[in-house]
Each structure stands twice: as structure tokens, then as C-alpha cells.
Amino acid sequence: MPPIISLVIPVFNEGAMVHDNIGQILRAAEGAGYELELIAVDDGSRDNSAAEIERAAARDPRVRPVFFTRNFGKEAAIHAGLAHAKGDAVVVLDCDLQHPPELIPQMVEFWRKGLCVVDAVKSDRGEEALQDGFFANAFYALFSRFAGLDIRNHSDFKLLDREVVDTYLAFPEKHRFFRGLIGWANYPSVQIPFTVAARAGGTSQWSKAKLLRYAIDNLTSFSSVPLKLITYVGAAILALGAVIGFLSLLNWFEGRAIGGFTTVNLLIIVIGGAIMISLGIIGHYLARLYDEIKARPPYLTKPNRKPPQ
Ligand code: UDP
Ligand code: MG
């Protein structure tokens, strides 16, 4: 029996192009000595993506659809795809052809040579707005500093061996950062460069606010440095306070104390702000703990129920 390679594609509001893209991905991924299946995870699209996936599945039995009850996000879609994949290795890639599927046979070759993870790494971020590149760089710089993990230019375009997939699925974490966790696991891997292609159509589903939330969530799920920083910032403010306090006392003894309305105002604002930010950081970690402890499933799939005849 030849090995099966599963392709996992998350789909959210990709419209009519998803049908053709699935065909194109499968054609590009074909190679000698292995069979393919494609898990298309519809992440609660509000357009005709689900129908287009059904159409692709009706044409090609290698396509296996998974439908979410609502939008749970790309991370959840990847998770579900991995959970449904039956292959001996799994390749995760975007459905908008920004991750060139022509690389898949090459990735499979590396897997055959015994590597557990094949990382497609962006050698060129493609056509991207200047500020987007700046924010991405800032995120990866902070991430490598806080989490001690350099995943700059990594993408979700990866091949994983079955053993890695099973390990990933066994993690108890609910909110996951696929790229970060695979980097963290540090399995024997190889990196192959790719150029991010232009989107096959449609627009990116990531708003700026969603990206910022994603960045903060991922940073805090990999590092507790922000929490510890509060202590240092507090210590610095305390030291400053001690100096200012000493000088103020000195002035008072010498009868040179200023009517300090402005000073008091400024102090309250600065200290108040610092305390609120600190509470906010603690609150953020608390919220994450709360979410993890509730342990709700990261996604729900549509029931298969058919109306009674
Ligand atoms: N996607 C998803 N759920 C979402 C947002 C995006 O499954 O909530 C999918 C989307 O259909 C695509 C991939 O994730 O296959 C990457 O999304 P997109 O192309 O919008 O992001 P970008 O390429 O700009 O990073
Ligand atoms: Mg894209």
C-alpha cells in the first residue's frame, strides 16, 4: 500500500475560487508513489464556500469536507484538519494558492528521507504593505526575545509526519499557535524557501484588529515575561519615587516647597496609568487561564443529521 499524504486547507469566505483552487492544489501535489486526500475545513464561511467545497467533493472522492458550525478561526480549522486527516504525513496550506502547492512533492521527498517536519519558510513575503511587514517583524522580534524561539518568516505551510500530528493533537492546550508549537517541539526538520504568491482572488480575512489580538494572544501563550516585567517597571517607578520623595522633603525642610498641584496631577496620572496597564496584563493572563480551564472544545463541526423521510 502506498503511503497517504493528507492535505489540510482551512477555508473562510473564499467564495467560488475555492472549488478551482482545490483542483489545482490536488493536481500540483500529485507525485509518484503516494496517494492524496484533501481535508477542506470550512471555518463557518458566510458565503458560498461550503457549497463550493461540496461541489469539489462530489467531483473528486479524495476531497473530504469538514464544516464548522460557525467561525472558530484559522488555528481551530488547522486543528480540525489535523484531527480528521488519515494520512501518514499531513501538509497544511492556505487555500488561496499563496502557499505554492507545487512544492508538495518536494516536501514529501524530504519526509521519505526520514524528516519529521518540513517547514516552508518565506524567502520573500510577497506583495505586502510596508507597515504590515514592520508589524510582522516587530512581532517575531518580540516573540524570539520573550519565548526564546526564532520563527521569523515561518508560515503555516508545513508537512508533518503522523507521529508529530498525533503528538500535536494530544496537547491539552485549547488555544494554539500552530507555527509556534511546531517550532517549540523542535522535531528533526528541514526548511525549504518559498515566495508568497499573490492571492488567487478575494481578500485577506485578517483585519488589523484581528492580527493584533492574534499577536498578543500568541506572545502571552508562549511567555510570561510581560507578567514579570511588571515587577521591574514597578521597581523602577519606586526608585524614581524614592529620589523625587527625597528631593521634595529636602525642599520642604529648606522652605522651598512648590505649590505642587501640577506635580500631584502628573504623579496620579502616571502612577494610575502604570497600575492600570499592570492590572490589564494580569487580567489578560487571567482571561487566558479562564478560557483554558473552561476547556470548551476549540471547534464544533456541523451535525450530519438528515431530516426524517
Ligand atoms: N482562514 C480561516 N479562518 C479565518 C481566516 C482565514 O480558515 O478566520 C483561512 C483562509 O481561508 C486561508 C488561510 O486561512 O485559507 C489564510 O487566510 P488569509 O489568506 O486571509 O490570510 P493571509 O494570507 O493574509 O495571511
Ligand atoms: Mg492568504
pLDDT value of residue 159: 98
Count of domains observed in the chain: 2
Claim to verify: residue 195 and residue 231 sit in the same structural domain? no
**211 lies in a domain?**
no
pLDDT value of residue 190: 96
Q: Count of CB atoms within 10 A of residue 225's CB? A: 14
Q: Count of CB atoms within 10 A of residue 104's CB? A: 26
| Distance in Å, CA 136 to ligand 1 centroid | 16
Claim to verify: residue 193 and residue 75 sit in the same structural domain? yes
- Identity of the highest mean pLDDT range in 186-195, 221-230, 244-253: 186-195
**216 lies in a domain?**
no
Q: What does the alpha-carbon distance between residue 300 and residue 68 come to, in Å, rounded to a whole number?
A: 6
pLDDT value of residue 286: 96
Question: Is the distance from the beta carbon of residue 10 to the nearest atom of ligand 1 less than 6 Å?
Answer: yes
| In the predicted structure, residue 249 carries a pLDDT above the cut 90 | no
Q: Whose CA is nearest to atom 22 of ligand 1?
A: 204
Claim to verify: residue 259 and residue 196 sit in the same structural domain? no
- Out of 150, 171, 205, a domain closes at 205
Claim to verify: residue 252 and residue 123 sit in the same structural domain? no
Q: Whose CA is nearest to atom 12 of ligand 1?
A: 94
Strands 117-124 and 154-161 come out as antiparallel
**304 lies in a domain?**
no
Residues contacting residue 151 through CB under 8 Å, at least 6 positions apart: 140, 143, 144, 179, 180, 183
**72 lies in a domain?**
yes
Question: Is the distance from the beta carbon of residue 204 to the nearest atom of ligand 1 less than 6 Å?
Answer: yes
Claim to verify: residue 232 and residue 200 sit in the same structural domain? no
Q: CATH number of the domain at 94, please.
A: 3.90.550.10
How sure is the predictor about 259, in pLDDT bands with cuts at 50, 70 and 90?
low
Mean of the pLDDT values across residues 30-37? 96
Mean of the pLDDT values across residues 44-56? 96
Question: Is the distance from the beta carbon of residue 96 to the nearest atom of ligand 1 less than 6 Å?
Answer: yes
Q: What does the alpha-carbon distance between residue 131 and residue 191 come to, in Å, rounded to a whole number?
A: 26
Q: What does the alpha-carbon distance between residue 15 and residue 49 come to, in Å, rounded to a whole number?
A: 5
Claim to verify: residue 186 and residue 231 sit in the same structural domain? no
Question: Is the distance from the beta carbon of residue 43 to the nearest atom of ligand 1 less than 6 Å?
Answer: yes
Least confident stretch, 35-44, 59-68, 123-132, 194-203: 123-132
Claim to verify: residue 53 and residue 180 sit in the same structural domain? yes
| Distance in Å, CA 115 to ligand 1 centroid | 27
Average pLDDT of the chain, as a whole number: 92
Claim to verify: residue 181 and residue 232 sit in the same structural domain? no
Can you tell me whether residue 307 is helix, strand or coil?
Answer: coil
pLDDT value of residue 119: 97
Question: Is the distance from the beta carbon of residue 8 to the nearest atom of ligand 1 less than 6 Å?
Answer: no
ipTM of the complex: 0.97
| In the predicted structure, residue 258 carries a pLDDT above the cut 80 | no
**218 lies in a domain?**
no
Claim to verify: residue 148 and residue 239 sit in the same structural domain? no
| In the predicted structure, residue 238 carries a pLDDT above the cut 90 | no
Q: What does the alpha-carbon distance between residue 156 and residue 208 come to, in Å, rounded to a whole number?
A: 19
User: What are 116's three cell numbers?
Assistant: 519529521
| Distance in Å, CA 204 to ligand 2 centroid | 6
Q: What are phi and psi of 123, to 5 degrees?
A: -90, -20
Q: Count of CB atoms within 10 A of residue 150's CB? A: 13
Question: Ligand 1 pocket check: which of 205, 214, 217 to mutate, most ligand atoms within 8 Å of Cβ?
Answer: 205
| Domain coverage including residue 274 | 225-294
Q: How much of the chain is in helix, strand and coil states, percent to nearest 5?
A: 50, 15, 30
Question: Is the distance from the beta carbon of residue 71 to the nearest atom of ligand 1 less than 6 Å?
Answer: yes
**301 lies in a domain?**
no
User: What are 121's three cell numbers?
Assistant: 519558510
Q: What does the alpha-carbon distance between residue 271 and residue 260 come to, in Å, rounded to a whole number?
A: 16
Residues contacting residue 225 through CB under 8 Å, at least 6 positions apart: 145, 146
Buried b vs exposed e over 14-50: b needs ≥16 C-beta within 10 Å?
beebbbebbeebbeebeeeebebbbbbbbbbbeebbb
**62 lies in a domain?**
yes
Residue 77 CA: nearest ligand 1 atom is: 7
Question: Which residue is it, cell 528533526?
Answer: 188
Tell me which residue of 224, 211, 233, 227 sits closest to 140, measured CA to CA.
Answer: 211
User: What are 180's three cell numbers?
Assistant: 509556534
- The CA-to-CA distance between both ends of the chain, in Å, stands at 40
Structure pTM?
0.90
Q: What is the pLDDT of residues 196-209, one digit of tens each?
A: 988 888 888 888 89
- Out of 144, 177, 205, a domain closes at 205
| In the predicted structure, residue 309 carries a pLDDT above the cut 90 | no
Q: What is the pLDDT of residues 92-124, one digit of tens each?
A: 999 999 999 999 999 999 999 999 999 999 997
- Out of 170, 205, 240, a domain closes at 205
Phi-psi region of 257 (alpha: psi -120 to 50; beta: other; left: phi over 0): beta
**302 lies in a domain?**
no
Claim to verify: residue 168 and residue 65 sit in the same structural domain? yes
Claim to verify: residue 12 and residue 57 sit in the same structural domain? yes
Q: How would DSSP label each residue in 179-208?
A: HHHHHHHT-SEEEEEEEPPPPSSS--S--H
Claim to verify: residue 201 and residue 247 sit in the same structural domain? no
User: What are 225's three cell numbers?
Assistant: 515575561
